[in-house]
Amino acid sequence: MSIESKDKYLSNIILFLLFFLFIFFVCKKKPDEQSTLGNDIIIEKKFAKYRAKVFADKSLKNSLTVLEKAEEVGLLEELETSKKEESIARIRLADGKEAYVEFKHLANMPVVFIENTKAFNRPTISSKIVETIPKGTLGFILEQNGGWSKIYIGKINENWITRHWVETIYYKTDNNLVFEIREYENALNLLVENKIDEAKEKLEDLSNSETEFVSQIAKQKLQNLKVSDVDSQEQNIPSENTENNEQIK
């Protein structure tokens, strides 16, 4: 065998050994590490139903950040837990970070109700009406069945709308509409917190929206606030008749 042939033979043996070592170490990885490497493709988009805390680990002990209501994430994997009917979602955030969150905090899609809409116990108009969802409400689709959607909204009046059914013709899924209605809800929350000036500023901005639906409901809310302010001022004005009556007494 020539020297050139021997060198080529030795090179082939070295390459074979390196390949064998590579395969050996890859196969030696823990099962959890292998599943993580093999499931980095986003299965589907999900959206937070409300502000929800997410974690850096699947034990949900190390807090990472908080998802805002209607914030979009990519679902990488659904992990089973020891608790029945509960699971954990491994997700990818918009900044590329991976995180873990309880699956129950996520929904399939956010929607905006463009009409006052009846919510039913089951997907048929002959079932019980649980509540009427006000126009301009932000909700979330959990599942769909023909012309019906099971939705989550939260509390309306004294009723919790968490897994009830609505007809699909009464809502829209436009992303810009969802964003602006979320801002509208934030303005309403500021009113509840008695931060009137901040709320009015948000509503003024929304009243100039290019989306006619958002502009209309923001203007209507501002008008209602003006009427409320006038009524409040009138209540604080002393009545001359009352004073006269007091003097007469």
| 109-114: average pLDDT | 98
- List the structure tokens of 162: 């968490």
At residue 89, does pLDDT exceed 90? yes
Which pLDDT belongs to residue 242?
40
CATH 2.40.50 for domain 42-107, yes or no, is no
| 72-94: average pLDDT | 91
Lowest mean pLDDT across 43-57, 62-76, 171-185, 217-231? 217-231
Q: Map out the domains of the chain as residue ranges.
A: 42-107, 109-172, 175-230
- Which amino acid is present at 98? E
User: Token pair 């923001």 is at which residue?
Assistant: 218
Assigned fold of 109-172: SH3 type barrels. (2.30.30)
Of the pLDDT bands very low, low, confident and very high (cuts 50, 70, 90), residue 86 is confident
- 178-191 confidence digits (pLDDT tens): 999 999 999 999 99
At residue 1, does pLDDT exceed 70? no
- 211-237 confidence digits (pLDDT tens): 999 999 999 999 999 887 765 554 444
Which pLDDT belongs to residue 31?
41
| 49-53: average pLDDT | 97
H-run or E-run covering 35 = helix 31-38
Q: Which of 123, 134, 94 is nearest to 220 (CA)?
A: 134
Measured CA to CA in angstroms, residue 124 lies from 93, 115, 128, 164 at distances of 37, 18, 9, 11
At residue 117, does pLDDT exceed 50? yes
Which pLDDT belongs to residue 23?
60
Which pLDDT belongs to residue 40?
83
Q: Do domains 42-107 and 109-172 have the same CATH topology?
A: yes
At residue 130, does pLDDT exceed 90? yes
